[in-house]
Structure 1
Amino acid sequence: MNTTNPEIVLGTMDFGTRVAPDRAFAILDSFVASGGVWLDTANCYSFWTDSSGIGGASERVIGAWLRARPGARDAVRIATKIRQNPLIPHSWPESAEGLSARAVRTGVEESLERLSIDHVDLLWAHAEDRTVPLEETVGAFGELVTKGVALRVGAANHAAWRVERARSLAREQGVEPWTALQLRHSLVQPRPLTPVAEAGHRMLTADDLDLARSDGLSVWSYSSLMWGSYVRADKRLPETYDHPGTDRVLAVLEQVAGELSATRNQVVLAWLMQQGIDPIVGASRVQQIEEALAARSVRLSDEHLARFAEAR
């Protein structure tokens, strides 16, 4: 795990759809000016809010920003994902591209074209595709690293045993294995064994952390700030989070934020980073990413961490 230098990652899912390009440019500019490095996108972002019914909008905005900002490519590292983009507009999941070798190669080629770059710094398998032999997917991802099209590869929304199996297959094939995990995680947790409403989301588990720590994998978390629910009264937590543990955690969060003169969002991000997790933060305004990046200077004491652990 990235226990020495966790970073805040800028999530760009809504760029080009809910977030207009000019506002996205301002967010990207502010992020880089404040020392931010990693951008997280996906080839399917965001087909569900795009009138075209297919993804690509977020990658196109990032590509336009890179073209408009000479030298910006050297200042950022770009992560994108393949697996979920619909091949037929408004037809998902039926026409999702999947993770066949052909789909992987085509997906990356199209992403690079939209992003106006010749390689990505990290390529994610966005979700499992059990219709394709894992050996085929692993080989296709490894081939991209060999060719320099992707510098690293990782697995998002995959079960820990599938990741470990894939890493074993990569060793057998002599190709680069997945070295990063991306899963949903935040300070509050849903009721145990209760599915979350968002299709395709996989929660971070103890097994995932065990795998990451034993094999030195980096861990990224998404939905880290629960869509604003920590700080906005109009953004209620989903019903699956309605249990006594949530109330206890939120009470401690309010106390700790006051003690540290920080916002609740900043405390949550600091809590994640002190576990070696790189939290992804989506932003629709410059002020939001500025607030998030300020969490890098927030330090929780052992006593703070113990209070959170007891509350959860």
Structure 2
Amino acid sequence: MNATKIALGTIPFGTTVSEKDTFAILDRFVEAGGTMLDTADNYPFWVEGRTGDESETAIGSWLAARGNRDQVFLSTKVGARPTVPGDTTLASAEGLSAAAIGTAIEGSLRRLGTDHVDLYWSHIEDRSVPLEETLAAFDELAREGKIRHAGASNLPAWRLERARNVSAANGWLPYTHLQLRHTYLRPRPYTRPAEAGHTLTTDDHLEYLREEGVTLWAYNTLMFGAYTREDRPIPEIYDHSGTTRRLAVLHEVARELGATPNQVVLAWLMADGHVPIVGVSTMAQLDEAIGAAELKLENELKARLDAPC
């Protein structure tokens, strides 16, 4: 089995997923060849009674118990942790000042039980802070050996281009990864998801990624289970005629491959060179995702999936 092209989403680890089950899921993921873990310094702060420490702490406990830090590509984020205890919104988010970043990385390293993060993301946009300040802080962390790569979450394409130009002009560590909400269905133009802080992938993003060699890590790839679960309706932003046509092709291809629609969505993302982040809370969900990594979409099938609009 080969899960090397999938990142494991870890939001519920240490909370709705117990430590025992967290360890079992992480063990299974690594056994299947998976290496990439996606967390943040605020998961899941929006749940009443949580602080945002929980996901990183659970991963850190597993790394300590298994002694396998070198086998894992560990990514975490800074910028969206609340600074007011009990705040479940982004109103008091820590932001991306040099001071906030310096404090946040120490907290993440402590909770994760490591001396470095492989990929460090700016979690949200913070236009109150100059890009130069944020990017210089990231570069300093790299020089100190605390981070290896830098990425940006939830940025418009033009801001990503500006940030990369700033880094290039100063010889700083550039953003080489972008994290956005992306799935097989296409939203209606000028719509926004209901979830605060989520940024949808646009054609401008995708073209920029292709031209510049920036890697997309896609979140909410399976829309909270809406492709396969009747109790999870497809979000309203996808309510248009193109969705009907696209879903028909998705289910046709799934039947032909003997796969689930979820697996085809993940395989389609990977075929475009993207890294799908798959959030799981059960072993069955993880096994389904691992199966997707073994699917091969022939050119004809990929073309059929790409064609509907």
The aligned residue for residue 211 of structure 1 is 208
The one-letter amino acid paired with 2:52 is G
The aligned residue for residue 45 of structure 1 is 43
- Shift of residue 6, structure 1, vs aligned partner: 7.2
- Shift of residue 7, structure 1, vs aligned partner: 0.9
Q: CA RMSD in A?
A: 1.3
The aligned residue for residue 235 of structure 1 is 232
What is the correspondence of 1:123-272 to structure 2 with a 5 Å cutoff? 123-272=120-269
- Shift of residue 50, structure 1, vs aligned partner: 4.6
The aligned residue for residue 76 of structure 1 is 72
- Shift of residue 90, structure 1, vs aligned partner: 2.3
Partners of 1:19 and 1:242 in 2: how far apart?
A: 32
Q: Show CA shifts across 1:47-98 (max 9, x none).
A: 011504x21100000000111112x212111000010000111223222100
Match of 1:22 among 20, 23, 37: 20
Question: Is the CA contact 1:146–1:175 (under 8 Å) kept in the aligned structure 2?
Answer: no
- % identity of equivalent residues: 51
Partners of 1:162 and 1:191 in 2: how far apart?
A: 22
The one-letter amino acid paired with 2:10 is T
Give the TM-score taking structure 1 as reference length.
0.95
The aligned residue for residue 88 of structure 1 is 84
The size of the alignment, in residue pairs, is 306
Q: Show CA shifts across 1:190-228 (max 9, x none).
A: 212111111111111121122222221111100011111
SS of match in other structure, 2:77? strand
- Shift of residue 117, structure 1, vs aligned partner: 0.4
Could you tell me which runs of 5 or more consecutive residues in structure 1 were left unpaired when the two chains were aligned. Answer: none
Question: Is the CA contact 1:18–1:49 (under 8 Å) kept in the aligned structure 2?
Answer: no
SS of match in other structure, 2:41? coil
- Shift of residue 235, structure 1, vs aligned partner: 1.0
The one-letter amino acid paired with 1:36 is G
Partners of 1:58 and 1:154 in 2: how far apart?
A: 19
The one-letter amino acid paired with 2:80 is Q
- Shift of residue 281, structure 1, vs aligned partner: 0.1
The one-letter amino acid paired with 1:155 is A
The one-letter amino acid paired with 1:26 is A
Question: Is the CA contact 1:6–1:277 (under 8 Å) kept in the aligned structure 2?
Answer: no
The aligned residue for residue 36 of structure 1 is 34
Which has the bigger relative contact order, CA under 8 A and spacing at least 6? 1
Q: Show CA shifts across 1:92-118 (max 9, x none).
A: 322210000000111111000000000
Match of 1:285 among 272, 282, 286: 282
Cα distance change of structure 1 residues 164 and 6 upon mapping to structure 2, 3 Å threshold = farther
Partners of 1:253 and 1:213 in 2: how far apart?
A: 24
Question: Is the CA contact 1:6–1:273 (under 8 Å) kept in the aligned structure 2?
Answer: no
The one-letter amino acid paired with 2:76 is T
Partners of 2:236 and 2:180 in 1: how far apart?
A: 20
Question: Is the CA contact 1:85–1:97 (under 8 Å) kept in the aligned structure 2?
Answer: yes
The one-letter amino acid paired with 1:11 is G
Partners of 1:256 and 1:174 in 2: how far apart?
A: 46
Partners of 1:287 and 1:243 in 2: how far apart?
A: 31
The aligned residue for residue 114 of structure 1 is 111
Partners of 1:253 and 1:94 in 2: how far apart?
A: 39
Partners of 2:207 and 2:187 in 1: how far apart?
A: 21
